[in-house]
């Protein structure tokens, strides 16, 4: 039976640390501020934005939300970002993705100044992550690394398999595992022998976006299984990329959905906003 890695407990510990530091900064007159922009009315995005706002408030940070209609023009969105880039009350800016299809996501990401790019999506920050000398880490992969650390799971020399190569999860995840001396393989939709590759994994990270995609026959006995997927089933329930019921008996550690990686993503975002506030104010 696997040990369940509880994202709620670990994220609460991270947030407690952040809240302490926020209180110390407040004593110096600095309040970390996060601006979240949401364009359109995607229900999943709405839930994520609400959770981010709640976390900010819970930790004593300033949270500003900008809700823009789906028909917002690129010019309007970029103009808001440019305003926020120079707003002294705002230390972190994030634009909730996906954006409506008429808006250029790359241009939007590139317009947020790297110092306020708390999602770590800007090419400047992505480059720094590649080199291994970074200010911000992308929230989901960094949250996963925090989980592995919390559980004392050693990565050095381990076979790490990441399924998914997105810029948000798969690619940065593989880089962070590599920085911790894992032997990393990245799989994707064109991978031919997926099952065989997955069976090698001591640490298996699934970031595919398909419900119950990882089945027991793809998992080595004793593997650590990290489920990033958030999929909504027809009955309205949330479900990960891993078939939990099948895989859990074979794994040594496993993350549940919900209550696994999701809460860690938000905790890392809070940590990044704190880091940004400290850097922008020259505070330690």
Stretch that binds ligand NAD, among 11-19, 24-32, 98-106, 224-232 (CB under 6 A): 224-232
Stretch that binds ligand NAD, among 30-38, 111-119, 149-157, 257-265 (CB under 6 A): 257-265
Number of residues forming the site for ligand NAD (CB under 6 A):
23
Could you say whether residue 120 binds ligand NAD (CB under 6 A)? no
> CA angle, corner 39, sides to 60 and 278, nearest 5?
30
Based on CB atoms, which residue is closest to ligand NAD, 115 or 241?
241
**Interaction mask 178-217, ligand NAD, x per CB under 6 A:** ---------xxx-x--x------------xxx--------
User: What's the rounded Cα separation, in Å, for the pair 108 and 39?
Assistant: 12
Could you say whether residue 258 binds ligand NAD (CB under 6 A)? no
Stretch that binds ligand NAD, among 30-38, 146-154, 176-184, 222-230 (CB under 6 A): 222-230
Binding ligand NAD by CB under 6 A: which of 111, 265, 268, 272? 265
Determine the 3-state secondary structure of 260 from DSSP. Answer: coil
Residue nearest ligand NAD, CB atom distance: 166
Binding ligand NAD by CB under 6 A: which of 92, 138, 141, 170? 170
Near ligand NAD in 229-248, by CB under 6 A: 229-231
User: What's the rounded Cα separation, in Å, for the pair 278 and 284?
Assistant: 6
CA-based nearest residue to 13, from 143, 179, 173: 143
Could you say whether residue 218 binds ligand NAD (CB under 6 A)? no
Based on CB atoms, which residue is closest to ligand NAD, 3 or 188?
188
| Distance of closest approach, residue 86 Cβ to ligand NAD, in angstroms | 29
Taking the CB of residue 70, how many other CB atoms lie within 10 A of it?
12
Q: Does the active-site annotation cover 58?
A: no
Q: Does the active-site annotation cover 6?
A: no
Task: Read off the DSSP letter of residue 169.
Answer: T
User: What's the rounded Cα separation, in Å, for the pair 42 and 238?
Assistant: 16
Q: Does the active-site annotation cover 119?
A: yes
Long-range contacts of 185-191 (CB under 8 A, 24+ apart): 185/159, 185/160, 185/161, 186/161, 186/162, 187/161, 187/162, 187/163, 188/163, 188/164
| 156 torsion bin: left (phi>0), alpha (psi -120 to 50), beta (else) | beta
Name the residues that contact ligand NAD, by CB under 6 A.
140, 163-166, 168-170, 187-189, 191, 194, 207-209, 228-231, 261-262, 265
Q: What positions carry a catalytic annotation?
A: 52, 96, 119
């Amino acid at each position: 039976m696997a040990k369940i890695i509880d994202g709620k407990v670990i994220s609460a510990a991270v947030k407690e640390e952040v809240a302490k530091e926020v209180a110390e900064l407040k004593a110096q007159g600095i309040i970390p501020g996060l601006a979240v922009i949401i364009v359109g009315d995607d229900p999943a995005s709405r839930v994520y934005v609400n959770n981010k706002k709640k976390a900010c408030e819970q930790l004593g940070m300033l949270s500003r939300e900008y809700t823009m209609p789906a028909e917002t023009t690129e010019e309007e969105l970029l103009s808001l970002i440019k305003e926020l880039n120079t707003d002294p009350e705002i230390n972190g800016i994030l634009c909730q993705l996906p954006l409506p299809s008429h808006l250029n996501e790359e241009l939007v990401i590139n317009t947020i100044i790297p110092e306020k790019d708390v999602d770590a999506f800007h090419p400047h920050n992505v480059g720094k992550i590649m080199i291994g000398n970074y200010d911000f880490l992308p929230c989901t992969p960094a949250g996963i690394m925090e989980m592995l650390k919390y559980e004392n799971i050693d990565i050095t020399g381990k076979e790490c398999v990441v399924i998914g190569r997105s810029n948000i999860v798969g690619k940065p995840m593989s880089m962070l595992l590599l920085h911790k001396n894992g032997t990393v393989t990245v799989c994707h939709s064109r991978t031919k022998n997926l099952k065989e590759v997955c069976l090698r994994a001591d640490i298996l990270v699934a970031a595919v976006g398909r419900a119950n995609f990882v089945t027991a026959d793809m998992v080595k006995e004793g593997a650590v299984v990290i489920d990033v997927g958030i999929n909504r089933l027809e009955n309205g329930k949330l479900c990960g990329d891993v078939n939990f019921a099948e895989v859990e008996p074979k794994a040594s550690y496993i993350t549940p959905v919900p209550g696994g990686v999701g809460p860690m993503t938000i905790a890392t975002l809070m940590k990044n906003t704190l880091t940004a506030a400290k850097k922008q104010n020259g505070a330690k």
